[in-house]
């Protein structure tokens, strides 16, 4: 199979970690008889430097012509980067919001897995994490507070800011269906997270999710308020299978989940539309403070590439091979600095990519 992949290397550590994911993809292609055609795309700060905007129409069109897009992290230091002297609509993150909307990437999948080998990097007590955990956070990505109307005005001499949180039933239904479909392939449990005791949008969310749940009698549905979910993630993460939630709650909870896996450098993600097309990226930021030092953890990006093989190309065997290679390298004691513990073997970004690529079978 020919894999037509758009590549957004991004900013900060983005180019470093994407290079290692491409190395792994090339090894998969070599072993399993595929070819990879890469189309280089600019977005974020890298696009601002060249085009003056974080995302061009031409980049959107080129991305749409690909079967999937692999992306590194975007953005820079908000205190020192000239990108953040621009108005908000021209800053790096505006490009990310726009491409999600333009490509209709409404379903964000973020697996949070605690590998047994990384128990020492997890900040939770061992009795909580014994046996590890494996959850999938399903986040609605193109609606809610991040895409609602916003403005800052002066009213009666006082500066006042407005942000609108809006969802319609169709937006909720399509993400709920994706969540239940994923649950059917896992342990058949969905935890729908909302704030229905306060928000009208959450009350509609809960109503529509219950309607969708009726179509999946094999799946157990539970509702959980977002503040309780935040507590439960650190009290008993093993209880979760699929967490289904709206945009802002998903943003916050998935970052929390990343830290109980040991490092945000371990958290992959996929953003899918209604076809097989997806954008695949690590959940962490661009970490400009360590960019160019060769110490960034590429595993989240490599695991994102594995998700791309699985969800956009239906290459489950190849995706399994990548995930096994990551587990093997961790079991052999190799660690980047963010997941390093006593008695393990510290390696840099490039060496970690080499080890994983060399373990593909």
* Spatial contact of 306 and 322, defined as CB atoms under 8 Å apart: yes
**Residue from 67, 194, 241, 251 carrying the catalytic annotation:** 251
User: What does the pLDDT look like over 188-237, one tens digit per residue?
Assistant: 999 999 999 999 999 999 999 999 999 999 999 999 999 999 999 999 99
Q: Which two tokens stand for residue 74?
A: 């975007």
Judged against a pLDDT cut of 90, whether residue 159 lies above it is answered with: yes
User: What does the pLDDT look like over 19-37, one tens digit per residue?
Assistant: 999 999 999 999 999 999 9
User: What does the pLDDT look like over 244-293, one tens digit per residue?
Assistant: 999 999 999 988 888 888 777 788 999 999 998 999 999 888 999 999 99
Q: Which two tokens stand for residue 54?
A: 């974080």
Is 146 one of the annotated active-site residues of the chain?
A: yes
pLDDT at 350: 98
**Residue from 37, 49, 163, 227 carrying the catalytic annotation:** 227
207 contact partners, CB below 8 Å, separation of at least 6: none
* Spatial contact of 73 and 284, defined as CB atoms under 8 Å apart: yes
**Residue from 195, 216, 334, 338 carrying the catalytic annotation:** 195
Whole-angstrom Cα distance, residue 54 to residue 75?
10
pLDDT at 75: 95
Whole-angstrom Cα distance, residue 244 to residue 241?
10
The gap from C-alpha 142 to its chain's centroid, in whole angstroms, comes to 14
pLDDT at 1: 94
pLDDT band at 9 (very low <50, low <70, confident <90, very high): very high
The mean per-residue pLDDT over the stretch 35-51 comes to: 98
Whole-angstrom Cα distance, residue 266 to residue 58?
32
**Residue from 77, 181, 255, 354 carrying the catalytic annotation:** 255
Whole-angstrom Cα distance, residue 251 to residue 258?
11
Whole-angstrom Cα distance, residue 265 to residue 251?
16
**Residues of the chain above pLDDT 90, percent:** 85
Is 314 one of the annotated active-site residues of the chain?
A: no
pLDDT at 145: 96
pLDDT at 150: 93
* Mean confidence (pLDDT) of the chain: 95
Judged against a pLDDT cut of 80, whether residue 238 lies above it is answered with: yes
pLDDT at 119: 77
pLDDT at 136: 95
Closest CA to 193 of 172, 163, 214, 218: 172
**Residue from 11, 23, 115, 146 carrying the catalytic annotation:** 146
Q: At what angle do helices 247-260 and 226-235 cross, to 10 degrees?
A: 10
Residue with tokens 């905007």: 53
Domains, the chain, in order of start with CATH, read 1-121+267-361 (3.40.718.10), 123-260 (3.40.718.10)
Whole-angstrom Cα distance, residue 323 to residue 307?
9
Paired with 71 in beta bridges are 8
pLDDT band at 185 (very low <50, low <70, confident <90, very high): confident
Is 238 one of the annotated active-site residues of the chain?
A: no
Give me the sign of the Cα torsion angle 99, 252, 284, 5.
Answer: negative
Paired with 354 in beta bridges are none
The gap from C-alpha 169 to its chain's centroid, in whole angstroms, comes to 24
The mean per-residue pLDDT over the stretch 297-319 comes to: 96
Closest CA to 176 of 225, 143, 134: 143
Judged against a pLDDT cut of 90, whether residue 122 lies above it is answered with: no
* Spatial contact of 360 and 34, defined as CB atoms under 8 Å apart: no
Closest CA to 96 of 224, 204, 267, 247: 247
Question: In angstroms, what CA-CA distances link 93 with 47, 85, 97, 292?
Answer: 11, 13, 6, 21
Whole-angstrom Cα distance, residue 256 to residue 190?
18
């Amino acid at each position: 199979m020919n894999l037509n992949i758009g590549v957004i290397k991004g900013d900060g550590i983005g180019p470093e970690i994407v290079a290692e994911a491409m190395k792994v993809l090339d090894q998969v292609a070599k072993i399993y008889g595929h070819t990879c055609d890469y189309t280089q795309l600019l977005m974020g700060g890298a696009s601002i430097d060249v085009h003056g905007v974080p995302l061009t129409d031409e980049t959107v069109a080129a991305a749409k012509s690909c079967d999937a897009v692999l992306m590194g992290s975007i953005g820079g230091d908000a205190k020192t980067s000239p990108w953040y002297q621009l108005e908000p609509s021209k800053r790096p993150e505006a490009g990310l919001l726009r491409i999600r909307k333009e490509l209709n990437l409404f379903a964000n999948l973020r697996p949070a897995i605690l590998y047994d080998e990384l128990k020492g990097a997890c900040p939770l007590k061992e009795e909580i994490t014994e046996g590890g955990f494996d959850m999938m956070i399903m986040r609605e990505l193109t609606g809610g507070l991040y895409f609602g109307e916003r403005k800052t005005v002066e009213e009666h001499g006082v500066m006042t800011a407005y942000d609108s949180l809006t969802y319609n039933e169709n937006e909720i239904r399509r993400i709920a269906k994706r969540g239940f479909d994923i649950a059917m392939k896992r342990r058949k449990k969905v935890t729908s997270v909302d704030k229905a005791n306060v928000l009208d949008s959450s009350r509609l969310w809960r109503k529509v999710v219950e309607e969708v749940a009726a179509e999946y009698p094999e799946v157990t549905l539970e509702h959980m308020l977002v503040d309780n979910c935040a507590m439960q993630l650190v009290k008993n993460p093993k209880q979760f299978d699929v967490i289904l939630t709206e945009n802002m709650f998903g943003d916050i909870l998935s970052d929390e989940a990343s830290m109980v896996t040991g490092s945000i450098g371990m958290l992959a993600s996929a953003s899918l539309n209604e076809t097989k097309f997806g954008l695949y990226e690590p959940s962490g930021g661009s970490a400009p403070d360590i960019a160019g030092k060769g110490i960034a953890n590429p595993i989240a990006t490599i695991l994102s590439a594995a998700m791309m093989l699985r969800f956009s190309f239906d290459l489950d065997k190849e995706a399994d091979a990548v995930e096994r290679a990551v587990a093997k390298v961790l079991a052999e004691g190799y660690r980047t600095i963010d997941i390093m513990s006593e008695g393990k073997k510290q390696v840099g970004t490039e060496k970690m990519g080499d080890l994983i690529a060399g373990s593909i079978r």
